[in-house]
Structure 1
Amino acid sequence: MLDKTFNPAEIEAKHYTQWEQSGAFSADPGSDSLPYTIMMPPPNVTGNLHMGHALTFTLQDLLIRFKRMKGFDALWQPGTDHAGIATQMVVERQLAEKGISRHDLGREKFLDAVWDWKAESGGNIVKQLRHLGASADWPRERFTMDEGLSEAVRSVFVRLYKDGLIYKDKRLVNWDPKLLTAISDLEVQQKELNGKLWHFRYPIDGEEGRYIVVATTRPETMLGDTGVAVHPEDERYQDLIGKNVKLPIVGRLIPIVGDEYADPETGSGAVKITPAHDFNDFEVGRRAGLEMINVFDKFAHINENGPAEYQGMERFDARKRIVAEFEALGLLEKIEDHVHMVPHGDRSGVPIEPWLTDQWYVDAETLAKPALEAVETGKTEFVPKQWENTYYDWMRNIQPWCVSRQLWWGHQIPAWYGPDGEIFVEESEEAAQKAAAAHYGRDGVELNRDPDVLDTWFSSALWPFSTLGWRGPGDEIPELDRYYPGDVLVTGFDIIFFWVARMMMMSLYFMKEIPFKTVYIHALVRDENGQKMSKSKGNVIDPLEIIEEYSCDALRFTLAAMAAQGRDIKLATSRVEGYRNFGTKLWNAARYCEMNGAEFDRAFDPLSCNLKVNKWIVGKVAKATQEIETALEGYRFNDAANAVYRFVWNDFCDWYLEFSKPILGSEDAGAIEETRKTIAWVLMQILHLLHPFMPYITEELWENFGGKDAGLLISSGWPTFTDAHIDAQADADMDWVIRLISDVRAVRAEMNTPPSVKAPLYLSDGNDEIRRRMSENTDLISRLARLSSLEELSGEMPKGAIQVVVEETTFVMPLGDLIDVGQEKARLNKEMEKTLVEIEKINKKLANESFVSKAPEHVVKEQHDRKADFEGTKAKLEEALARLADL
């Protein structure tokens, strides 16, 4: 016997262990079934489950469970990313607590410490994914620094280098002066700060008393200025283009150049150009052939290229001194308050520096061409389609990809330097020594390995094929042939360029085939007011806490039900609570089945049903199955979730179980037997349809109802139906009965008719079909609509009758003698007055321009939503008053 309530925590632990031990998550390379592959976006090994993870992994798990039940050989390939900077910082902080730095340990011992940490604490995120119900093929779990994946990384680097697609160059990078490494754009966080805009006068060489004014938010970089740019068509400066200014403090002459980067409408129209310390200036400098002078060292202190008195000075101290010196020289025109965005390292929290340095680059422009063509021709499709524009924008304007990082944790670059700086790029030191011997004509050449490691995105770009055993070109791997390319990638929009595009580039270059057919881009999970979750705002919702309070099933169903394509999820705990109640509703329905002797009979054929109500529910099962399946195939997760919700809550629980009560309470043994079997059969179909969304409660109920030889629900097949399962007559008749009962209930509620009071209902006009439906279902309608009688009207219209119109048929319900009409009108009018007052208040607020423009967006939206709710109430009250008008 089922307990009165179910215990999610107990059920979740029990079934997850059971699933995993049974091998239910495993793909079967020897299977004759069609393969279906999802590559898990590898979470950082340092990570903890957040709501974004919960969404993406719920959707992937939903798909993999669905496809598994559909009979596919489903592989959900799991793994984690070594997360270079994040992991190194974690271990360095732990060492710092003991007063040790990584330099004290040296590279080899430090890496040992990182591996030790990874073995102890690096698997938390995987444990948390299990807690979410993720049914990945865990024995296949990979790590981006596994030996096999490391071999693939070395092979790819060497091949790209020898093909001329990886090279060393001196270019600007995002430099973190605290972590002392280049970082990717994704690791740069833009922060809005209140700053200053300093206007400096640069003297025109040879023209005493003439200046050109430039404005800057970073005075310290002026030590590296090598030019001033003006727009070539700016009439104010036509005579200055080609002349020089004398750079204050430094004293060198720098040219005035014409370049469209300078905006005549902004400031003075003239901009200082520091090619070594600004990305835009770098491009101007290249176009104009300007010198690139780096004035910072790796700590962002002034280096040997600055004036002697500035050398060694920290950048912001140098800023203060430069401003003071300009003022003393009479060259500081003005200082303005200025709000601007300043890039910071997201890990270190310090302002990053665009810094000119030698780094390794990938020729992304060349690799991007086939990756662009693959999406343009539809070989890979984005869902929703509009994200293709983001992809195109990145790929058509792609810049060289800086892949070197000045870290110790990561894939060390397989490059060795000879005594004269000659570079030998090989997969091993032994191969590099052979290459050096051939180059220098002698053995035993001393080589030094490049100390840098590769950008984390480099190894994760190989994820679709390296995880399947690929270690280098020419590998023949059966599992790679079977499971590559993947079917769908589920990920967030923020890494379309950083990860999706790079997987496309690498896969097409090395595998000559796209890595996945579909890229499903999910939206952001925000708080209930539409605000982005952040610790500083205090609005972060922890998925693990939600699971503990409301159950894993409730969270999963909530995320699926709200995952509408292209629309952010506004998550409120009240929604999760609501879907927990949905689980409770299902549990109680199962208890009803159990208490009424409904046992699942595998031999039962739903096509054998004779009772109309049973034929009707069988048809509803078939329709719901098709609707859910079609929605999932189209990645319309919210439509699929809402379809199963409507069917379970409305069709099954609210209507069918109510329809079954008089049958089960009758003395018709045949009808009782058929209905018991139908109820149990429908419940079992529900468990199948709902399993991908709510795996735990469905598996628990299946265990109780499926029978001893049923096996696990996770491994059972998806229901299949034909048109024969839908009885059009039964469907039309019972849907009509439901509409009539619903409309009568609505009228009774509007009229405030006490539930205990039964009222007669008369058919005022109707055809033979309506009469038949009414006659065949009189008892059922009367019972559920709380009617004292249901018959065709003969004679005059009863006094105090209210009309109930169902489609084109009119029924009348005499309520004049059952309610106090005067009192009811007074109550409705009072409610109307309150409603109108509230609408007026909201209208005044929304008419206030100051409120609309200054209030947060979610506050304004809340007022619009409240107004819509009150307008709906007003319409209902008007309808109720209209019904009473003639009484």
Structure 2
Amino acid sequence: MEKTYSPHTIEQRWYHIWEASGYFAANRQGPSYCIMIPPPNVTGSLHMGHAFQDTIMDALSRYHRMKGYNTLWQAGTDHAGIATQMVVERLINAEGKSRHDYGREAFIEKIWEWKEQSGGTITKQLRRMGSSLDWDRERFTMDEGMSKAVQEVFIKLYEEGLIYRGKRLVNWDPILHTAVSDLEVLSEEENGFMWYMRYPLSNGKGYLQVATTRPETLLGDAAVAVNPNDERYQHLLGEFVDLPLTGRRIPIIADEYVDPEFGTGCVKITPAHDFNDYEVWTRHKHISAIVDLPHGGLINIFTLDAAIRDNNDEYTLIPATYVGLDRFVARKLIVADLEALGLLEKIADHKLMVPRGDRSGAVIEPFLTNQWYVKVAPLAKPAIDAVESGAIKFVPDNWKNTYFEWMRNIQDWCISRQIWWGHRIPAWYDDIGNIYVGVSEADIRIKHALPAEYALTQDQDVLDTWFSSALWPFSTLGWPDKTPELAQHYPTSVLVTGFDIIFFWVARMIMMGLKFQGEVPFREVYIHGLVRDAEGQKMSKSKGNVLDPIDIIDGIDLQSLIDKRISGMMQPHLAQKVEQATRKQFPDGIPSFGTDALRFTFASLASTGRDIRFDLARTEGYRNFCNKLWNAARFVLMNTEEQDNGLGCIDCSYSAVDLWIISRLHQVIATTTDAIDHYRFDLAAQSIYDFTWNEYCDWYLELAKISLQSEDEALQRGTRQTLLKVLETVLRLAHPIMPFITEEIWQRVAPMTGITAATIMLQPYPVSDADLINTAAINETEWFMAFILGIRRIRGEMNIAPSKPLNVLLQDGSANDRQCISNSLTYLLKLGRLESITWLTNEDIAPESAIALVGDLKILIPMAGLIDKSAELARLDKEIQRIEKELPRIEGKLNNPAFVDKAPPEVIVKEREKLADYMSTLNNLINQQTKIKLL
């Protein structure tokens, strides 16, 4: 083995071997274990959430593959309708053209060309993460088989009356000219204003005051609402106000939605441009007929661009001065006109949540349009029953409550999008508005006996990307055809996903799976938390705290990191802030850590359901763990290569520490297996780490050196055999989390244990054997370690050099202590650097000594000649004084309101941690000082 562990020299080499050899394929015997990858966007690149999630899925896949399951981790990507169309539109815009210049078919061809050339970034990055996906079965949500499945589902749901077309409010992106889902809307707090406006009472007896953050929407108001229990306004119920600037009268209505304690207790109702107002108006729409409001009160004032639209009837009465103006330009003019009429009460600063399209950055408008919908309620009931019955289990269990809350209050699902890239809706219209749904126009003409000259036009819209994703668990396996893969792997075993898409994806897959397969799509849903930064903040480009997992693997210099973070920012004015944050956080850039260290970090943080704070300091620690494992392997190989390693256990002798490390190994196997089975990857990682670093490397390797130096050849053989077998087992134990380093080392170690297989990833996962757990060896070795730690603690507290030989006195020990001393005397003398061990009798008077305890046994180390008491007390006193000078400065900062109120949260956290460290160090120094004074 190379002297230095270098992940880059091994990672890509091994991944190529694994993939080329077909080790990821689900073509083996054994029960099925299947995970469907949440299909990443074809336009996307790997972010920390992906990397975390994929580490968990890969660990589960590798674990079950080693456990003998026929394991399928299904690969695939999503066509990402809006995102992909935007990418290609930018490319052709650079040519001075638009998609309309190409036309629909040519533009779609252009997208397919781009997809083939540039659309695989994230799949390349998944390979860098070591993801053992079955790439030979890779699917794409727009491939032929998936398109066939999507079309069949749409037609069947339509024929059953579960898909319909209707006019309702949607999230409208005025830049992209399409409806978007809630998941594609990012709402962040921004500084804005609240405008307080006067609506004159039609009876001439005053006015009502309403407040709004969108004054331009008053043009579409249908009513003013008050709470029915608000005594201030009860006498006005049934009255009207004159809507400013429009010449329209609108009613005053009562609704429980209004909070009488908020503002004036009067709320303007704009049903066509606010989701809450739409629900209010739905409860009162009968009033429209009474007061003769246009369009039933659903008055749309915007064009597709979110400009003020022209009048299209005599009742809307939008003043011509506003028509054609952008909504924000119109806002200023409307406010000025209100002020001129004396109808503007005041303008107040106001922080508000502003919804923006995640792709365009445009402010989203609630917009009334014709869209296609899935009638969800009939599909939701069996999906609720599946979780209530336990057919599907959420991990952690509490997430089922979130699922139930959504499912029991579910609204019909808008599935149409006004773009070109996606599954085109299989619906055609004739000239009088009749709808025909079918596989193709030709099939429709045959089915309905429509002649060739009868004009039909296909719907221009495409289906929401989530529609095809909802079919993912069975469409990827070949449905609607009855394939062997579908029979073998459906239902799948577990879905690994974040809580933010329980409704958008998880619930919809459950509904569609039950509807079209008659079975749940997966048995368990493992919900993981979000990856946050070290201070617990959500990772955001605008905050400058986003990390790219590939940068952590490969390393990146400071300037390249800055350039990467500010390129293509949605809010360019924040670039300077992001650059400053980056320079502060990573003054030297990010060093290279390798994939295994990053994966182990993710696993160590993966406690069920909690958000994780990602700190590169932990990754550095696990990079050191990789080094530790590498160096341990080099030690083992240097001491076992070309040696008699006792294969077959012929003529071997085993010390208590050999039996102890084997016993502990089998205990750790049981702990690790149980942790993975229960999705506690944090506990599995901790178990592997503690055993490998603390017990195998720090204790056993040191003790093995002593055995290897003995003159007992049988003991040497037993120790060499134990060194190899334990290491080989640890490599298999850690492989699902750290695949690359374990494979590289295993290739050198396995042949020396008699194993001739080609790869670690198809070897059996370790199984705990209770017969190999030797309690007596564990107790004796733990006693020995406590003894050595007692000696080391005294050395540390008394500032005695580790190399200084010590004479040890023992007092008050039991018969068991005496037996343990006798059994481990050689190890004690050599590892403890002891010159002698002497038992004191009851009559002996102990000299001035430092004391450590192992149970009732006293370990005494006489201090005479070991330390200069006066010099040591002076050293401790100087260190105590230094810390006592620092404490008031830090305490003063933290007690100063000006500092606490203004300093960033992460700075305050660091100051508090520093204070705690100083206090702990001070207490330790005072304890040492006291002990030395008592000598």
TM range (shorter): over 0.9
Larger mean CA deviation between 744-753 and 823-832 belongs to 823-832
Partner of 1:219 in structure 2? Answer: 215
> Counterpart of 1:463?
472
The 8 Å contact of residues 361 and 402 in structure 1, kept in 2 or not, is answered as: yes
Shift of 1:444: 4.3
The residue identity in structure 1 corresponding to 2:543 is K
Q: Displacement of 1:522 after TM fit?
A: 1.6
Q: Secondary structure at the match of 1:171?
A: strand
| Cα offset, 1:487, TM superposition | 1.3
Q: CA, structure 1 residues 257+435, in 2 after alignment: closer, same or farther (shift >3 Å)?
A: farther
Alignment partner for residue 498 of structure 2, among 492, 501, 505? 492
Written as runs of structure 1 = structure 2, the 5 A alignment for 1:68-87 is 68-87=65-84
Unpaired stretches in structure 2, ≥5 consecutive residues: 289-296, 312-317, 555-591
Note if 1:556 corresponds to 2:584: no
Cα offsets for 1:377-400 (capped at 9, x unmatched): 322222222322322222222211
Does the aligned pair in 2 maintain the 1:607–1:724 contact within 8 Å? no
Against the structure 1 CA distance between its residues 607 and 508, is the aligned structure 2 distance closer, same or farther, given a 3 Å change threshold? farther
How far apart, CA to CA, are the structure 1 residues paired with 2:834 and 2:732? 37
Equivalent positions of 1:148-547 (< 5 A) are: 148-205=145-202, 207-289=203-285, 290=288, 291-305=297-311, 306-437=318-449, 444-471=453-480, 475-547=481-553
The aligned residue for residue 655 of structure 1 is 699
TM-superposed deviation, 1:852:
4.2
Q: Choose the corresponding residue for 1:622, options 650, 666, 690.
A: 666
Deviation at 1:564, TM superposition (A): 2.0
Contact 1:424 1:435 (8 Å CA) reproduced: no
The residue identity in structure 2 corresponding to 1:64 is: S
8 Å contact kept, 2:652–2:717: no
CA distance in 1, matches of 2:491, 2:873: 68
Deviations along 1:500-523, one digit per CA (max 9) or x if unpaired, are 111111112212221112211222
Q: Which residue does 1:15 correspond to in 2?
A: 14
Cα deviation, residue 808, structure 1: 2.9
- Letter in structure 2 aligned against 1:787: L
Normalised by the length of structure 2, the TM-score is: 0.91
> What SS does structure 1 have at the residue aligned with 2:194?
strand
| SS of structure 1 residue aligned to 2:934 | coil
The change in CA–CA distance for 1:754 and 1:608 in structure 2 (over 3 A counts) is closer
Deviations along 1:360-416, whole A, 9 cap, x unmatched? 111223322222222233222222223223222222222111110000000111111
- Shift of the 552–298 alpha-carbon distance from structure 1 to 2, 3 Å rule, reads same
Say which of 631, 639, 643 aligns to 1:588: 631
Partner of 1:865: 913
Correspondence for 1:690: 734
Q: 1:400 to 1:124 in 2, by over 3 A?
A: same
* Alpha-carbon separation, structure 2, partners of 1:522 and 1:111: 36
Aligned mates of 1:226, 1:600 — CA distance in 2: 92
Report the alpha carbon displacement of residue 573 of structure 1 after superposing the two structures with TM.
Answer: 2.3
Match of 2:778 among 731, 742, 751: 731
Superposed CA deviations along residues 631-681 of structure 1, whole A, max 9, x for unmatched, are 111111111011111111111111111111121112211111111111111
Distance 1:148 1:87 in 2: 20
Task: Tell me the equivalent position of 2:589.
Answer: none
Distance in 1 between residues matched to 2:821 and 2:645, nearest whole Å: 33
Aligned residues: CA RMSD: 1.9
Distance 1:802 1:601 in 2: 43
Q: Does 1:111 align with 2:108?
A: yes
Q: CA deviation at 1:871?
A: 3.3
The Cα offsets for residues 757-792 of structure 1, whole Å up to 9 and x where unpaired, read as: 121112211111110001111121121122221231
CA deviation vs aligned residue, 1:198-236 (integer Å, no higher than 9, x gap): 11111211x225211111111111111111111111111
> Is contact 1:170–1:358 with CA below 8 Å preserved after alignment?
yes
Q: How far, CA to CA, are the matches of 2:321 and 2:543 in structure 1?
A: 44
How many angstroms does 1:866 deviate by? 2.7
Which amino acid is the alignment partner of residue 545 of structure 1? Answer: D
- Aligned residue for 1:550, secondary structure, equals coil
Q: Which deviations, in whole Å up to 9, do the C-alpha atoms of 1:408-445 show, x marking residues without a partner? A: 000111111112101111122222223442xx7x5642
Residue type at the aligned position of 1:538: G
Stretch deviating more after TM superposition (267-276 or 324-333): 324-333
Which letter does structure 1 place at the counterpart of 2:421?
A: W
Corresponding residue SS for 1:870: helix
Pairs aligned (count): 877
Deviation at 1:881, TM superposition (A): 2.7
Q: 1:756 maps to what in 2?
A: 803
The answer to whether the 8 A contact 1:152-1:466 is kept is: yes
The reply to whether residue 578 of structure 1 matches residue 590 of structure 2 is no
Match for residue 743 of structure 1?
A: 790
Q: What letter matches 2:198 in structure 1?
A: R
Whether the 8 Å CA contact 1:846–1:852 is kept in 2: the answer is yes
Q: Which residue of 2 aligns with 1:92?
A: 89
Alpha carbons 1:436, 1:445 under 8 Å: kept: no
The whole-number CA distance in structure 2 between the counterparts of 1:853 and 1:147 is: 59
Please say if residues 651 and 714 of structure 2, whose CA atoms lie closer than 8 Å, have aligned partners that are also in contact: no
Matches of 2:398 and 2:848, distance apart in 1: 58
CA–CA distance in structure 1, aligned partners of residues 649 and 765 of structure 2: 16
> Tell me, which stretches of 5 or more residues in structure 1 are unaligned?
none
Instruction: Give the superposition deviation at 1:826.
Output: 2.5
Secondary structure of the residue aligned to 1:138 is strand
Deviation sequence 1:38-59 (CA, Å, 0-9, x none): 1111110001111111111011
User: Alignment partner of 1:309: what SS?
Assistant: coil
Q: Note if 1:65 corresponds to 2:62.
A: yes
Q: Is the contact made by 2:653 and 2:714 (CA closer than 8 Å) also made in structure 1?
A: no
The AA in structure 2 aligned to 1:681 is K
* Identity, % of aligned positions: 52
Give 1:135 deviation, angstroms.
Answer: 0.5
Q: What secondary structure, in the 3-state scheme, does the structure 2 residue paired with 1:375 have?
A: helix
- CA deviation map 1:338-361 (0-9, x unaligned): 221111111111111100111111
Give the drift of 1:848.
4.0
Give, as a single letter, the amino acid of the residue that structure 1 aligns with 2:127.
Answer: R
Deviation at 1:609, TM superposition (A): 5.3
Whether the aligned pair in 2 keeps the contact of 1:606 and 1:618 (CA below 8 Å) is: no
Query: Where does residue 725 of structure 2 map in the other structure?
Result: 681
The 3 A distance-change label for structure 1 pair 868 and 373 is farther
Aligned counterpart, 2:564: none
TM-score for both structures, normalised by structure 1: 0.96
Do 1:530 and 1:858's aligned partners in 2 also have CA atoms closer than 8 Å?
no
User: Which residue identity lines up with residue 298 of structure 1 in the other structure?
Assistant: L
Partner-residue secondary structure (3-state), 2:167: strand
Equivalent pair of 1:360/1:402 in contact (CA under 8 Å)? yes
Change in 2 beyond 3 A, CA 1:142/1:618? same
Q: Kindly indicate whether the alpha-carbon contact (under 8 Å) linking 1:200 and 1:215 is maintained by their aligned counterparts in 2.
A: yes
Letter in 2 for 1:465: F
Change beyond 3 A, Cα 1:331–1:602:
farther
The range that moved more, 462-471 or 421-430, is 421-430
